[in-house]
Structure 1
Amino acid sequence: MKTLKLWMLTLVFTASASIGFAQDGKKGQEVKFKTSAVCGMCKATLEKGLAYEKGVEKASLDVNSKVLTVTFNGQKTSVEKLKKAVNELGYDADDAPATPRAYERLDECCKKDAVH
């Protein structure tokens, strides 16, 4: 009887672990974009703006290198959607240019040609 209980417990644990891994398979994906961000205000705008995007777990901009690192759930969003979100915040993302209207709404210090 103890062997049967142990076997059942092992079976339940293995099945639940397998289901957990299958569901988490796309969580924690990471993508990096080279952006046109130039200052601390850009950092705040990008990190806060991406926090509202579905599936984003974390966004962090390194202002010196202009690289935005986004950790996300691939079951809820995609790299293309994230790139579009960056563009709609007014910033370039790799080869995708910022949306002109969003770029115009940026503060002067956040524009690519601003003197810092």
Structure 2
Amino acid sequence: MKTILFSFITLLFIGSNAAFSAGDEKEIKIKTSAVCEMCKARIERNLGLSKGVKESNLNLKDKVVTVKYNPAKTTPEAIKATIINTGYDADNQLANQKAHDKLPSCCRKTAAPH
């Protein structure tokens, strides 16, 4: 019985180490067209719901969102697609027009920062 218990604990330990080393974290910075706190909340919420995204933080001063993600579960392209489909530009890629049109008027690209 002790041997079985020891084997189980060993396998559990090895499995948890493999999971942590396989999911090394990466970081990407993406320039957006966000203008206000509502934009920040919307982008961070949608990124937080995305598979593989561990953390996101949008700096409204420079309009750059910093995203920490698991490269085994998502890609920079998928992260940018989430931002684009939320209605905001992502680096040099333009926002999805339908999503952008659904944003409140204060959150659109033409709105002044506030």
For the superposition of Structure 1 and Structure 2, which TM-score range results when normalised by the shorter chain? 0.7 to 0.9
- TM-score by length of structure 1 reads 0.79
Gaps of 5+ in 1: 1-11
User: What does the per-residue CA deviation read over 1:4-48, in whole Å, with 9 as the maximum and x for residues that have no partner?
Assistant: xxxxxxxx8xxx49x836852443110000000011110000001
User: What does the per-residue CA deviation read over 1:31-82, in whole Å, with 9 as the maximum and x for residues that have no partner?
Assistant: 0000000111100000011111000000100001100000000000100000
Q: Distance in 2 between matches of 1:22 and 1:43?
A: 31
Residue 75 of structure 1: SS of its match in structure 2?
Answer: coil
Structure 1 residue runs of 4 or more that deviate by more than 4 Å after TM superposition: none
The one-letter amino acid paired with 2:25 is G
Report how many residues are paired: 102
Larger Rg: 1 or 2?
Answer: 1
- TM-score by length of structure 2 reads 0.81
Q: Distance in 1 between matches of 2:53 and 2:41?
A: 15
* 1:27 equivalent in alignment to 2:24: yes
